[in-house]
Chain A
Amino acid sequence: MERAAITVTNLTKKYRLGARRTGGYLTLRDTLSRPLHQWFRAPATAARQLAALQDITFSVGEGEVLGIIGRNGSGKSTLLKILSRITHPDAGEVVLRGRVSALLEVGTGFHPELTGRENIYLSGAMLGMTRRDIRARFDEIVDFSGVETFLDTPVKHFSSGMYVRLGFSVAAHLETEILLVDEVLAVGDLEFQRKCLGKMDQAARSGRTSLLVSHNLGIIKSLCPRTLLLDKGSIVRYEETEPVIRHYQQLVAASGSLQPGHWSLPADHPASRSKAYLLDMTVRRPGERQPQDSFLNSDAVTISFTVQATQRLQRFTLSMDLLRGHDPVLRSRQVDTTDRDTLDAGEQVVFECTLPAWLLNAGNYSVRPILSIHCVETLFEDPDAVVSFRVAHDPSRSAYHQVLHESNHPGAVFPSLSWTVYHNDPT
């Protein structure tokens, strides 16, 4: 095997849980009074420690593209933060052969008051480029980002899409041997995401060692031949991507957590003692069984909710909020269009709602249900009970779809309205 670019040996990182008081930071008073407290308290009150990473050992060969997956809190981000030297390990060793650039956030170091041009230099310098490097690649960076018209506008006036594009473009033109990327591809419109993937692929082909942390299994599958699965701070599996992803999906399924387009109530959730609660919800194409989380705007989207009642209920209402990003798009209730508003004790009922094709704009949507007795009480409302899905423009349908790809089409909806065109005859 070729030389290792990254060697990690017995790496451990702990966070102290007990020490994070008063909103995450100490005041002088706490420090002064602590000896007193300790005097009076039993001695065995050592602060609880959370092992974010526990005795991790692995190595990555030169030019390899490694995916890192795991559930939230499994230690993925901590690992990247140690490799990029943002935080220090508590034990163990890392040897990095080559210069490292880390992309933990897009637009790192941008200052809102500075112009796009100034920010390219600023962000580039923070990521380790010299002014000469940046000047040499300036046009390339601007070209890739596609924001040349706004180069002399302060970035605070940029749309979030433009901001992200400029940020990624700077980072994508770094010339380091090792590249660490965390979830950055989750942002930006689809077209730009595709561009980013291309750039990553190119980086991999040119022999750079890359580590990619992502929740997007599709991206991991298409870019990384090998993948590392972390769970609770330890390595669960490290081999070819396919079996690792399957292992991950089993892990996720076992914990009752999300799979794309599907949500189900975790076992022993306190809501199961309520008068009625949500068992699961899915998003899919009408007539299909398999949950989905990506749609074209030419698809209809069916959202179904399975509700379990534990006692007889009248005036039962299920309402659903549809959000695009954080912005509400609409709220819809079953009582407005059906006359089913009573549930029997022990009954399971499925409520289905279909969003017609040619309604939604491209973007990331999420669905949040609320179960209630109409105007009396809320039965079930859980910020974790969310299904998300993504809508993309159907490129085959409009001669002008290219334009839509280039810029985000404004608005939450993009319905197919009827237009009439006729010749105006003054007589």
Chain B
Amino acid sequence: MSMDGKTPSPPVTVIRAQQSLQGRWQELFAYRELFWVLAWRDIRVRYRQTVIGILWSVLRPMLTMLILTLVFGYFAKLPAGGSYPYLLLVFTGLLPWQFFAHGTADSGNSLLDHSRLITKIYFPRIFVPVSPVVSAFLDLLISLLLLAPMLWWHGQWTGWRLLLLPVFLLLAIILTIGAGTWLTALHVKYRDVRYVIPFILQIGLYLAPVGYDTDIIPAHLRWIYGLNPMVGIIDGFRWCLLEGRSFHPDFLPGMVAVPLLVTGLGLRYFQATERYFADIL
């Protein structure tokens, strides 16, 4: 929208009962600034009125890391699978997991949290579940900055494999956006979702190889285990960051196909139901 007052031919909007997909992308593009403003707001607001502020982004993964290391590495004495301390195994698994968990939870509740906005103002609804993923991603980046000196201290250098890290990051982002979008659209209609999300994330922490290495999974179960997309993504993260690990192609189908499928179906469901959000919210 320009400042030059009246343009000679203003845009024409047609509203019909049947929605058309025409002009959807142009619309998203036209509103792109709002997307960044929403994400900026989420980040701005998150640690307002907290004493230690942004430190929470660091403290949460650190404390979880210590506890998981204590339980799995020290008490249960599970193998770390390489020349690095158990702590690093846990932390490299925790980063993608916490991104997925926080992103999905915030995104899955987002439409309800913004019900006042949605019933009072029009803008592309898809921004609502996607913008929390941006702030979860920022947390992930902060944690990665924290991880770098830890890797260096323990002499971990994987060379070219580091360059593949963005691929796994991208898969995690796609999965999180898809799951969050689907859940939040379902949430508008079925309030059960509020109880389902924490439950899934809680058991997910143990079903995904966050506190342990994928090597402890019996070989004949690996293909089922790998259907959980976070298994392949976490394993890939470790492969990129830690020395002496091998890549597991048996996780590939789950970690590529599932995120794409979830996102495809999630976006479709969202787009099919979004016109009624304001009526049911």
Residues of A within 8 A of B (CB): 15, 24-28, 31, 81-100, 102, 104-105, 108-109, 111, 113-114, 118, 121-122, 125-133, 136, 154, 175-177, 207
Contacts and interface: CB of A to CB of B under 8 A. Distances in A.
Interface stretch (B43-51, B77-85, B134-142, B163-171): B43-51
B1 A25 contact: no
A130 B37 CA distance: 10
Contact of B12 (A26, A96, A125, A127): A96
B100 to A, nearest CB: 24
Interface string B19-63: 100000000000101100100010011001100000000000000
Interface of B: 1, 3, 5-6, 10-17, 19, 31, 33-34, 37, 41, 44-45, 48-49, 117-123, 189-192, 275-276, 278-280
18 contacts: A26-B190, A28-B190, A86-B118, A94-B14, A94-B16, A97-B12, A98-B10, A108-B117, A108-B120, A108-B121, A109-B117, A118-B41, A122-B37, A125-B34, A126-B37, A126-B123, A131-B33, A207-B6
Nearest to A16: B279
Given A28-B192, A87-B279, A98 B11 contact: yes
B49 A113 contact: yes
A266 B121 CA distance: 36
Contacts of B33: 125, 130-131
Given A87-B278, A128-B1, A177-B6, A93 B16 contact: yes
B15 A85 contact: yes
Contacts of A90: 17
Nearest to A15: B279
B53 to A, nearest CB: 13
Given A93-B14, A95-B13, A125-B37, 14 more contacts: A26-B191, A86-B118, A86-B121, A87-B278, A89-B15, A92-B16, A92-B17, A99-B1, A104-B121, A108-B120, A108-B121, A126-B117, A130-B33, A177-B10
Contacts of B275: 87-88
Minimum-distance CB pairs A-B, first 8:
A98-B10, A94-B15, A125-B37, A85-B122, A88-B275, A113-B48, A96-B13, A87-B278
A111 B45 contact: yes
B90 to A, nearest CB: 33
Contacts of A109: 117, 121
A330 to B, nearest CB: 34
User: In this complex, which of B11, B17, B122 has the most chain A Cβ atoms within 10 angstroms of its Cβ?
Assistant: B122
Contacts of A81: 278
Contacts of A130: 1, 33
B1 A95 contact: no
B41 A31 contact: no
B234 to A, nearest CB: 30
Contacts of A88: 15, 17, 19, 275-276
Contacts of B13: 85, 94-96, 100
A95 B12 contact: yes
B91 to A, nearest CB: 31
Nearest to B118: A86
A111 B45 CA distance: 8
A203 to B, nearest CB: 13
Contacts of B190: 25-28, 31
B3 A96 contact: no
Contacts of B34: 125-126, 128
Contacts of A97: 10, 12
Contact of A105 (B15, B31, B120, B279): B120
Given A15-B279, A129-B1, A86 B6 contact: no
B247 to A, nearest CB: 40
A127 B1 contact: no
A221 B280 CA distance: 35
Contacts of B41: 111, 114, 118, 122
A2 to B, nearest CB: 14
A99 B6 CA distance: 10
A25 B15 contact: no
A31 B34 CA distance: 35
